[in-house]
Structure 1
Amino acid sequence: MKGGDEAELRVIDRFEGGVGWLAYPDETMQRASHALAVDGEVWVVDPVDAPGVDDLLAEYGEVAGVVVGLDRHLRDCAEVATRHDVPVYVPNWMSGVAEDLDAPVERFGRELADTGYRAIRVRDTSIPPWQEVALYSEETGTLLVPESVGTCDYFLTGEERLGVHPMLRLFPPTKALGGLDPDRILVGHGAGVFEDAGDALRDALRNSRKRTPALYGKTLKMALTG
């Protein structure tokens, strides 16, 4: 599902305000990492490390911090933060994360530092255990969602460009994300959506439940034939 013998950097999601990459392009989970560029500073979100990452980040500015967007996405946050001598930024309501990071931790509230990216609490539940923050800049039209929606194969039915996570299909994050109209959507699993992103988000949320049987049927077929 994830990882491989050796990391191999593949750049995705490149735009004026940042960049994304896959460290293991052939893995099923398609774990995507991102860097958001704001006023010459770079904020690295949920990174999976790979050779060449530092050179890629340097194209956008100096690293100001590393962000944990999902409680399960510790990934290589501490390693990247330590290498750049910056803190790991964790939402002030997210628990059970800071103590597992071998790096200094800074907390943030409604906005990620002074970046202009609004912090949206997508989920904060114990059943299933799930704490997730999305980052949204109305000025740039960029929305980053670490987990609740994605574009890798096991998120999508045949008619979707963006899909709700299989575990959330019956209870999509409509309250948190439904009122947004982004120009681009970056996701934690797969390449981002850069064309008609707002429409793709609305479609994913609106039709999540009715497409659940199709997605689960596809998943079962993949498991049986894989």
Structure 2
Amino acid sequence: MPVYDRSAPDAPRVTEFDGGIEWFAHPTETGRRASHLFTGSHGCWLFDPLDIPDLDDHIAAAGGLAGIAVLSNYHARDADAIAARHDVAVAVPPWLDRAADHLTAPLERSTTLGDSGFQFTRYNPVPGYEEAIAYRDSDQTLYVPDALGTAPFYTVADERLACYGLLRVRPPRALFEPFAPDRILVGHGTGVFTNATAALRDALDGARRRLPTAIRRHGLTQLRGVVSALW
């Protein structure tokens, strides 16, 4: 089975949470790509979305689409098609040039997301790896596209959240130190909605110690995931 299923979704899984929706276009794929809708005062915002058959119904129920954010260089996904249907721009932080090059929709290059309340922070641990961490203080929501995840090929032992691959060597403690989230949404895997700050601290504090286990269990799958994301 490929890490990422590129076929048309026929059995997506959609879950509501307070203030939004999380969905998996292909719930059984190894990569567990998650997409998110966040409600706002003037419509909703989509983060790193994959298209699904009833997405427009969810958008309408949330008051229409205010905009879309692509927050990883490798998460252009279906942002173009959705933006064209709804005549909206795609927000791409200024440092995500690869993502911008893969989009044809009108772009907004900013470190904030309209009136959503989300602020973007750059994460660039190694050359060629760029993403944007999104945080909204009003409801203490943290979104992490790639650096942290809950998909099975991220976690080991009793981890509820984990650093990706070799990021465990130097876990980004300073990056996440300002945040005390009530919930954490990720680009790969289901969100963390209980004791989120504790899960975040455990992911960072135990990252290096659990690295040998993570490499042994998930090293090959994670390498396949990196290669698949490039195409």
Structure 1 and Structure 2 fold alike (TM over 0.5): yes
Give the counterpart letter for 2:52 in structure 1. Answer: A
Q: CA deviation at 1:124?
A: 6.2
Q: Which residue of 2 aligns with 1:74?
A: 76
Q: CA deviation at 1:222?
A: 7.8
Contact 2:50 2:78 in 1 (8 A): yes
Pick the structure with more strand per residue. Answer: 1
Give the counterpart letter for 1:24 in structure 2. Answer: H
Contact 1:136 1:142 in 2 (8 A): yes
Question: What number of residue pairs does the alignment pair up?
Answer: 219
Give the counterpart letter for 1:118 in structure 2. Answer: Q
Q: TM-score, normalised by structure 2?
A: 0.89
Q: CA 1:86/1:124 → structure 2, altered by over 3 Å: closer, same or farther?
A: farther
Q: CA deviation at 1:179?
A: 2.7
1:65 to 52, 64, 67: 67
Q: Any gaps of 5 or more consecutive residues in structure 1?
A: none
- Tell me the distance in 2 between the aligned counterparts of 1:102 and 1:51: 22
Query: 1:109-148 to 2 correspondence within 5 Å?
Result: 109=111, 111-123=112-124, 125-126=126-127, 129-148=128-147
Deviates more, 1:37-46 or 1:89-98: 89-98
Q: TM-score, normalised by structure 1?
A: 0.91
Q: CA 1:87/1:203 → structure 2, altered by over 3 Å: closer, same or farther?
A: same
Partner of 1:108, secondary structure, is coil
Give the counterpart letter for 1:183 in structure 2. Answer: D
- Tell me the distance in 2 between the aligned counterparts of 1:173 and 1:19: 27
Give the counterpart letter for 2:118 in structure 1. Answer: Y
Q: CA deviation at 1:64?
A: 1.1
Give the counterpart letter for 2:45 in structure 1. Answer: W
Q: CA deviation at 1:59?
A: 2.2
Partner of 1:204, secondary structure, is helix
Partner of 2:98, secondary structure, is coil
Q: CA deviation at 1:92?
A: 1.9
- Tell me the distance in 2 between the aligned counterparts of 1:183 and 1:39: 20
Partner of 1:74, secondary structure, is coil
Q: CA 1:206/1:62 → structure 2, altered by over 3 Å: closer, same or farther?
A: same
Q: CA deviation at 1:220?
A: 5.7
Deviates more, 1:145-154 or 1:177-186: 177-186
Q: Which residue of 2 aligns with 1:153?
A: 152
Give the counterpart letter for 1:9 in structure 2. Answer: P
* Identical positions, percent: 39
Q: Which residue of 2 aligns with 1:88?
A: 90
Q: CA 1:107/1:69 → structure 2, altered by over 3 Å: closer, same or farther?
A: same
Contact 2:72 2:99 in 1 (8 A): no
Q: Which residue of 2 aligns with 1:186?
A: 185
Give the counterpart letter for 1:146 in structure 2. Answer: P
